[in-house]
Amino acid sequence: MDKLKKIVFQYKYEFLLILISLIFIKSLSYLLQLDIQSIIYLDSGSYYESAENVYYYYRGHNLRPMVLALIHGIPFLFTNSAMEVYASTYYINLFCWIGSTLIIYKIAQHYISDKKAFFLSILNLIIIGNVISVFHMLSENIFIFFIVLSFYFYHLFRIKSKTLYLALFLSVVVISMLIRPGAKFFALFILLFFIKDIIKYYKTKSFYLLYFSFFLVFIQCAGIKYQFGNFTISYIDSVTYYNYLGSKAMCYKNDVEYSQFNNQRGKYLFSLGYEESKVEVFNDMKNQLKGNKINLLKAYSDDLYENSTTGNIILNDVVNIKSTSYFESIKSSLYNFTIYSNVFLTITGILLSLFTLLLLYKDKFVVIISAFISYTFLTSGVSCGQGDRFHIVFFPFILLLLAINIQYFRSKKRSKLFV
């Protein structure tokens, strides 16, 4: 009993974070009836299909990579019911959402006191979009967990100087491409940024983890090549550009209103074979960069603005199934909150990452956090019509930069603490 009390006291803030997180999400679920909503988004449908492909047909999916499919499909080990698989995604997302919060706390502990790190981590709860997405088969919380986990491994490498942690950091970043293919250029940046370390330690046994992650990426690309014709992680980047950014740019050129749901270009692209569609997208991008670059830039800027100033679409779609009197007012207030928080956190994230980078440009940890925030923000301009969905991915990382800045400005031994 004494040993149990000692453990509870030692990890009191971790237990409190788990408890507060569970109370918060249960309260939100009760107020907004999140656990009885029957909304299944188009993206969720493709995630389900990819998981089904892996577990039942042992094949890949043209849009969704295999690691995410393996994670989403875990419920297939216990049930054949589609609705149960969708419902069970809640527990996977919940684990990742709470896990991310705990990891943020553990990293923040290094820079500020346990108490301050605890309250800073609680701020992760105000990112309503991430909380709401726990109830849906989407990629946000899983992807955030993998990136936060990878940063934690690098944090441990800095403290303990064990190559195992560096190998884990690099491996998880590479594997994150197989959760969100859009992360591939960030992963490439990380590999190039740490190329000296990779060359230095490439013979160590722990680096077989990195080689295994490369192998998984190769398997993914080779599988797509075998099934669909192109050696690529996914076709999602081509589809996203063509249907969103490219289509909006052409609408500006032709002076017509862009419609996400009545997109003739999208219908045309899906009428082509996979290899043909890849060629079509490449030619379209090349032609627009040559002859429509102004409208392309205008569409990109408009996408960035929209993604930075809109609220959470999932929250906007929930309905009052139980006909409770307070539902609409709470829904409206929270939706408006997601709009204001999106604007505030987007501006804060970009400015804080640039400020911290200028202040501590020699700190590699600051560089990778700032790079992730900037990269996620800039790549969000390729798509639109998704509310705050793209930007909520980098919001939790703002908390890490806050912890670093608090420590920097309060420390009297800055030069010794930032190596």
- Residues 334-352 have a mean pLDDT of 97
The per-residue pLDDT for 9 is 72
Query: Which range (6-10, 138-142, 191-195, 361-365) has the least confidence?
Result: 6-10
pLDDT at residue 414 is higher than 60: no
- Tell if the pTM clears 0.75, that is, is over it: yes
Q: Which amino acid is at 417?
A: L
The per-residue pLDDT for 347 is 97
Higher pLDDT, 215 or 270: 215
Q: What is the pLDDT of residues 166-199, one digit of tens each?
A: 999 999 999 999 999 999 999 999 999 999 999 9
The mean of the pLDDT values for the chain is 94
Q: pLDDT over 70 for what percent of the chain? A: 97
**Cα 336 from Cα 330, distance rounded (Å):** 10
The per-residue pLDDT for 11 is 83
The per-residue pLDDT for 320 is 97
The per-residue pLDDT for 419 is 44
**Residue 393 confidence class, pLDDT cut points 50, 70, 90:** very high
Query: Which range (3-7, 67-71, 107-111) has the least confidence?
Result: 3-7
Q: ∠308-245-191 over CA atoms, to 5°?
A: 75
Q: ∠117-13-118 over CA atoms, to 5°?
A: 20
Region of 263 (left: φ > 0; alpha: ψ -120 to 50; beta: rest) is beta
**Residue 417 confidence class, pLDDT cut points 50, 70, 90:** very low
**Cα 334 from Cα 28, distance rounded (Å):** 10
The per-residue pLDDT for 366 is 96
The backbone torsions φ and ψ at residue 37, rounded to the nearest 5 degrees and listed phi first, read -70, 150
pLDDT at residue 415 is higher than 80: no
Q: What is the pLDDT of residues 9-45, one digit of tens each?
A: 778 999 999 999 999 999 999 999 999 998 999 899 9
- Give the chain as a 3 state SS string: CHHHHHHHHHCHHHHHHHHHHHHHHHHHHHHHCHHHCCCCCHHHHHHHHHHHHHHHHCCCCCCCCHHHHHHHCHHHHCCCCHHHHHHHHHHHHHHHHHHHHHHHHHHHCCCCCHHHHHHHHHHHHHCHHHHHHCCCCCCHHHHHHHHHHHHHHHHHHHHHCCHHHHHHHHHHHHHHHHCCHHHHHHHHHHHHHCHHHHHHHCCCHHHHHHHHHHHHHHHHHHHHHHHHCCCCCCCHHHHHHHHHHHHHHHHHHHCCCCCCCCCHHHHHHHHCCHHHHHHHHHHHHHHHHHHCHHHHHHHHHHHHHHHHHCCCHHHHHCCCCCCCCCHHHHHHHHHHHHHHHHHHHHHHHHHHHHHHHHHCCCCHHHHHHHHHHHHHHHHHHHCCCCCCCCHHHCHHHHHHHHHHHHHHHHCCCHHHHCC
**Residue 260 confidence class, pLDDT cut points 50, 70, 90:** confident
- Residues 114-125 have a mean pLDDT of 95
What Cα–Cα distance (Å) separates residue 113 from each residue in 101, 109, 118, 325, 376? 16, 6, 8, 43, 29
- Residues 118-147 have a mean pLDDT of 96
pLDDT at residue 416 is higher than 80: no
